Structure formats: structure tokens, C-alpha cells
Structure 1
């Protein structure tokens, strides 16, 4: 069974939220109502992330196998990242929503096996470094088709832009365009995959109690166009306790997964990546 290192953070996160909740339990007014009615809602949080990453980059004259980076470079320790969300209710029915997330990982390991990355073969027995950068930005229009004093449902459509950069460094055998090979002790090969894609989804919010608010969001898309053949999903669930009229704290869980087969000049091959984890966040609404 695969271990889940991020679970060690759960008691501290839950303890912090429960402690703040007890401190303000005497507050009786419905602070959470603003999360359903106010024009602006902001979330900013620390994201405890666990990730899975595999990819294959084709060379000039061959199709390379997919690399399991977690197997070859080891699983990265969970790292705290920042995720930000902004919701603007232009009217009760028409909304705009923006999200940004960044996950950067650096790993270094003496390789047990050769790793083929494009025209570079990083050699077994040598130390190799992996730099992995994953950014996601999204701007979406929401249509609030169902709204009551205690809950709302909204459908969304927008643009999701992700950029994945993978760089491998170390001792490698390099094959040139003529099929000639040579060895370099400080070789480095970077490949970047930008992916602007449309997004559709559904978001809901529920006023559970005067100061408690639950929200959930599901987004997905599948596309085959212009050298991209891929699919992705984004699922999120959160609970927020509003300790004041305009401010609150929350705890959520988010999972994102994508698989893309690409035939482009800047990246030819397969990318499969996912992240998941707990998010402790601050909320503001006005």
C-alpha cells in the first residue's frame, strides 16, 4: 500500500481549525451568509500536495518509453504551495471566477536505470536532477441557475491554461540529428508543454449553519485538436467557518489529474500528471 506522507499534516490542520472554532463559538450571527450573497469572495491557502508524475519525450528518430519519475527519482516530500481563488458576482446570476495554482518540485538521485528523455539518455549509476514546474490559471464565466437563501448551484465555462516544464540534468549520452552519439557530463534537456484548453464545470455552495459554509466544485474536459489528445479533471471540496462577518478559515481537499498525448515541435510524447492534497485557507468576502 502506498504511503501518504501528507496525512501527518492532518491533525495539525484540523486542530488549528477546531481551536479557532471553539474560541468564537459564542458568536450567533450568520456570518456565512455573505459567502452566498456578497459580490466578492477570496480564498488564499497553503496547499499540502502529493503528486504523481510520468512522461515520455520522443527523440528525433525514435519513440521513447514513458518514464515513471516517482520510481526513477523518488517521490518528492510533500511541499506547501499557494492556491488562490477569486469569485466576482456581477449579479446574483452572472459571475466571474479566477483560480491560480503553482507546484514546483526539484529532485536529485543516483539513477538505477538509464532514463531516455528525447535524444538524451541519462546514465544509470550517475546523479541526475529533475526540475518539474506545473502552473494552472483559469478564468471562467458562471451562470447561477439555482439560488435560494441557503444554497446555490452554478454552471461554468471558461479557459484553463496549464504549463508544464520538465528539465533533466546530469551525465547523458546525446544523439544528434545525424544519429551520432557522444557523452556529456553536464547535459541538460528541458521541455515545456503549454496547454490552453476550454473548461466546463459545476460549482455548489451550501449554508450549513449560521457560521458554516460547504462548497464543492467539479470540472472536466476532453479534447483532440491541433496535436493534443488529452483529458483532465479538477475536483474540490471545502468547509469554511466564518469567525467574523467578512473573514473565515477553511479546510478543503483538491485533486487534479491530466493525461495528454502530444505531437508538437516543442513536445512530442506523453504526459501524465496529478496532484492531490489538503488545503488550509483564509477566506474574505465583501
Structure 2
């Protein structure tokens, strides 16, 4: 929680410098720039697989939550912004960033195959993963009014992720000693999306955004869901407070030099933040 305080102080100080807006409408509908810093508390479900050069019939995605006890919730920061860059404010660019990372250890209940190595049941092993999300979205307002805005557009999610397992590893039942095997990759996923804002008063606004992408071509598949309903209370002229619920699911087959495998990651939970508008 302490890490978000400097950001909140900055937004309050920066937002107080700007005051021009339509007093009869909520700033989510009128202002050119809006930024939000929030504490995100997601529950996590993570499955990762990594294939090697030795053929195996037992490969599959590993449930990191069940195998290594990395489930539960985690506190992290979520940043997002809206910039209506056109003169009529119909066109906008939107961005989002957050990062999660976790690791844990356990005595394995069953063999785990990771790349060309086997971590055997009954041995101790540690595993971890990390994900950094970069979202850029270009959109246009389709319908606007005194109390609402509906829009849609195209964007891209950049997923920078890694995973590792470490412990005593075996190849064909022969120990190779203690090893740390790590995979990593960057995957850009395009998406289409829509948003809707309903502001019954200049103080209260309810919003929802939905991003989606899915594709399957031969052995390749990948996709995402990014949903975020929320409410914003405009406490001061340039400062507000918000509560949102996020559901984010990313999955893909990865065929890169540093990673040949797949992942399926889901993060869902509330976020509580402060907004600045001008």
C-alpha cells in the first residue's frame, strides 16, 4: 500500500492545476485527459507448459497453483489512462499497465516434465512466474450524449511473461543435479473492444470496457478477455475515486527460441484507485 501513496499524491497535485470542464457533465464524458492509479487485488490461476527436444507423451500445462501453492490473491498496482486527442474529442487512445510475479515451493505429488527435464514426485521443487501487461487501444466514440458515451476500436496487448522450475532434475531417470530451467517470451495479441460510460449526475459515473481476441490456425492458438466494469465518484473538480472489477484471461501457444510451449493465465478481482482529470 505504501508504494501507491506517492502516485496518489502526484495525481492530486497535478490534477489540481487544471479546472476547465463542463460542470453539467461528469468529467469522464468531457475531459481530454484522465489517468488512474489503483491497487489491484487479483486472484490468480496460472497454467504453463514448456516442451523440449526429447519427445514425451506426458507433456501438458502445469497448474502452478495446485503443484506449488502459488494461488490466492496478490496486491499489485494498475495504471490506466484515456487521452482524447482529436479536436472534437471523438478519437482517443487508452493505455493500461500492470505486473504480477510470484513463486513458491512444494514437495511434488507427481512427476513434472519441464522442457527436457523431469522433476520427480517426492522431491522438493520451487517454481515461479511473472507477467507484465502493456495495453494500447485506439478508439472512437460512436454515440455521445449528456449522460452517456459508447465507443469502440482496435488495440493490442503486449504480454511479457516468464516461468521457471528449479530443483533436482532428471533425464531418463539419470540425475543432472540441481537445475533452474526458465522460459520467457513476449507475445503481442491484437484485440477489438468496446466501452460504455453512463453518468447520471456530474458526481457519479458507471463504466464498462470489454476487450476480446481469439484465433486458432493449425496448431497455433491464442486469445484474451479483458473485462472491467466500475464506478467513479468525482470528489473534487479534478480528483475522483474509483472501484472496479477486473477479469483478465490470456492464453496462447508460444513458439519462440526461448520458449516452446503454452500458457493460460487468469487474474480477477477488485481494484481501488484515485483518478485525475483535466
Question: TM bucket by the smaller chain?
Answer: 0.7 to 0.9
Aligned counterparts of 1:226 and 1:134: Cα–Cα separation in 2: 26
Residue 72 of structure 1 aligns to a residue in which SS?
helix
Q: Is the 8 A contact 2:210 2:227 kept in 1?
A: yes
Indicate which of 206, 209, 212 corresponds to 1:214.
206
Deviations 1:185-219 (A, max 9, x none): 42101011311121210011111323111110000
The answer as to whether partners of 1:227 and 1:264 remain within 8 angstroms in 2 is no
Counterpart in the other structure of 1:23: none
Q: Structure 2 CA distance, aligned partners of 1:267 and 1:206?
A: 44
Name the residue aligned to 2:79: 84
Matched, 1:257 2:252: no
Classify 1:219/1:77 alpha carbon distance in 2 versus 1 (closer, same or farther; 3 Å).
Answer: same
Structure-2 change in CA distance of 1:256 and 1:45 (3 Å): same
Q: Does 1:107 align with 2:100?
A: no
How does the TM-score come out when normalised to structure 1? 0.83
Cα distance change, pair 172–31 in 1 and its aligned pair in 2 (3 A): farther
Q: SS where residue 36 of structure 1 aligns?
A: helix
Comparing 222-231 and 135-144, the one that deviates more? 222-231
Q: Distance in 2 between matches of 1:50 and 1:32?
A: 35
Residue equivalent to 1:4: none
Structure 1: which 5+ runs fail to align?
1-28
Distance in 2 between residues matched to 1:98 and 1:119, nearest whole Å: 39
Q: Distance between the aligned counterparts of 2:195 and 2:143, measured in 1?
A: 11
Aligned length: 253
Any conservation in 2 of the 1:76–1:105 contact (CA below 8 Å)?
A: no
Q: 68-77 or 32-41, which moves further after superposition?
A: 68-77
Cα distance, 1:83 vs structure 2: 0.7
Paired residue for 2:61? 66
RMSD: 2.0
1:42 alignment partner, one of 30, 35, 39? 35
The change in CA–CA distance for 1:205 and 1:41 in structure 2 (over 3 A counts) is same
Give yes or no for contact 1:32–1:212 (8 Å, CA) kept in 2: no
Name the CA distance, whole Å, in 2 between partners of 1:74 and 1:32.
48
3-state SS, counterpart of residue 26 of structure 2:
helix
For the 8 Å contact 2:140–2:151, the answer to whether it is kept is yes
Distance in 2 separating the partners of 1:239 and 1:184: 54
Preserved contact between residue 31 and residue 245 of structure 1 (Cα < 8 Å): no
1:182-201 mapped onto 2 (5 Å cutoff):
182-201=174-193
Deviations 1:221-269 (A, max 9, x none): 1134697421211111111111101111111100011221234433222
Judge conservation of contact 1:31–1:242 (CA < 8 Å) in 2: no
Unaligned stretches of 5+ in structure 2? Answer: 1-21
* Matching residue within 229, 232, 251 for 2:224: 232
Distance (whole Å) between structure 1 residues aligned to residue 161 and residue 216 of structure 2:
18
TM-fit CA distance, 1:172: 1.2
CA contact (8 A) 1:31 1:244 kept: no
1:91-140 CA-to-partner distances (Å, cap 9, x unmatched) read 32110111111111111112122211111211222221112101110111
Distance 1:60 1:149, change over 3 A: same
CA offset at residue 31 of structure 1? Answer: 8.3
**Shift in alpha-carbon separation, 1:227–1:196, aligned structure 2, 3 A:** farther
Counterpart of 1:158 (choices 155, 159, 172) is 155
